Amino acid sequence: MNATIRIGCGRAAALVACVVSLQACGSKQATPAQTPAGPAPGVKPGDGSKAVATKQEVASFADAVKKYEPLRGKTDSASCSQSMDLWSRTASDNDKIVEARYNLGAVQEACGDLKGAEDSYKKALSIKADFAPAKAGLGSIAAKKGDMGEAERLAQETLNQDKANPTAHRNLAMILLQKARMARNVSGMSKEIVEHLRYALAADSKDVASYTTIALVYYFEAAERGYDKAKMELAQLACDQASKVNDKAAQPYNVLGMVFLGKRNVTAGLANFRKAVELDPNLAEGWMNIGAVTLSFRDYAGAEAAFRKVMALQPSNVEAIVGLGVALRGEKKFDEAEAQYKAAEKIDARNCSIPFNLGLLYQDYKGAQEAALRQAQTYFRDFVSRCGQQVAKVKDAEVRIKNIDETIDAIKNAAVLQKQAEEAAKRSEEEAKKAAGGGAAGAAPPADKGAPPPAGDKAPAGDKAGAKPDAKAPAPAPALAPKK
């Protein structure tokens, strides 16, 4: 398999689109794709006294902060439920404390409730219109929705209000990393990106997402330099630091998995991906990576299970749907594989991996009939016409188109030879029958208990015209099927 798979730093944001090209059946090493981390839960102890609130409300807020500390940074189902319940009650009971409403939004965002988080951030701004953390939070939501222009605008606007806002610095770092990757210039922009992340860490030294994002920066720098060993080591150190800060955080293990893949240690890479989803079963990026690696091992059943996990979390994830199709094809479930490719096509008709995989399916697995092969050519020509940036795959597709023409010619020639052989066999059979019938007229009369045949004009008994010969004519040898 040649796969570029999602490598996220966590569920907090999806700032970089995942590009997946799940194609041939799986001999190449998987390389991970990416979804950088968004903001970590921005919950701070805060100072409720800054809001117009009673002493009782301030005390209630402080008590909630104390109760939250053991839950901080945890995004498993039970912890999310406790955190959201805590801050929901605190925000409702203390509606003048903007930090309480903001903290509810932060844990909602970290736990995947984006709609709830957006509503909470807006309510926080209705309490205090210039509350920078809530504006930064809305920037994170915009990034998750793919509106990168709005995300960047909100990050810059937040920093104009609060130059040290960690969430805005982190979001801006993510946006810059995305731009750098698209321009294939992470090395040239890494200094600026890391500077933003240092601002975030200065505000919160336990910010796992910022450490993990620094690891990503080093990883992509290494990739641009042919997996430079020094940069790979820096990426690993950043992941290790993130795990020291919070050994229950899934994101660092996921990024560490891709670092090991970059070092060609697939076993360690897979182990870290599995650790990531063990810590956070809802980490779609981790499941994507497991699917890619197991597919590269031709563990099709394992890959199918992993991609189905992703689809349960993200039903419209085209890369996961295509990956599932590849896994099903490996399990010889060809019609089911085609159904997945078609489903992916309905979501993203311009995705280049879809026509290539459909071409493979029809050429290699749908039977060597002209109709199926012509359909394969149609898919490959579609791929070539609009996916020119994938140079190696375009060359492969062009070779396949040519090979299909040659195969169809061979099939036609074989059909002609087959027909000729069948006609020759039929003629041989007819000639054999004629030869058998002609031999009966000159057959010797059968003996009549040793007595000589009577004289006369009649033909002797037993030698009637048309009598069957004693021996059957040999059947013609079966025509050999022409070689395909």
Residue 287 in this model has a pLDDT that exceeds 70? yes
Name the residue with higher pLDDT: 36 or 165: 165
pLDDT grade for 201, boundaries at 50, 70 and 90: very high
Query: Band of the pLDDT at 413, cuts 50, 70, 90?
Result: confident
Overall average pLDDT of the 407-418 stretch: 85
438 pLDDT band (50/70/90 cuts)? Answer: low
Residue 118 clears pLDDT 50, i.e. is over it:
yes
What pTM did the predictor assign?
Answer: 0.69
Strand-strand pairing, 4-5 and 31-32: parallel
Predicted local distance difference test score (pLDDT) of residue 13: 28
Span 216-230, pLDDT tens digits: 999 999 999 999 999
Instruction: Please give the pLDDT value at position 132.
Output: 93
Average of pLDDT values for 137-156?
91
113 or 442, which is more confident: 113
CA distance 282 to 250: 10
pLDDT for 439 equals 53
- Residue 258 belongs to what H/E stretch? helix 251-262
**Cα–Cα dist 359/362, whole Å:** 5
Check residue 362 and report its DSSP letter. Answer: I
pLDDT of 313 strictly over 50? yes
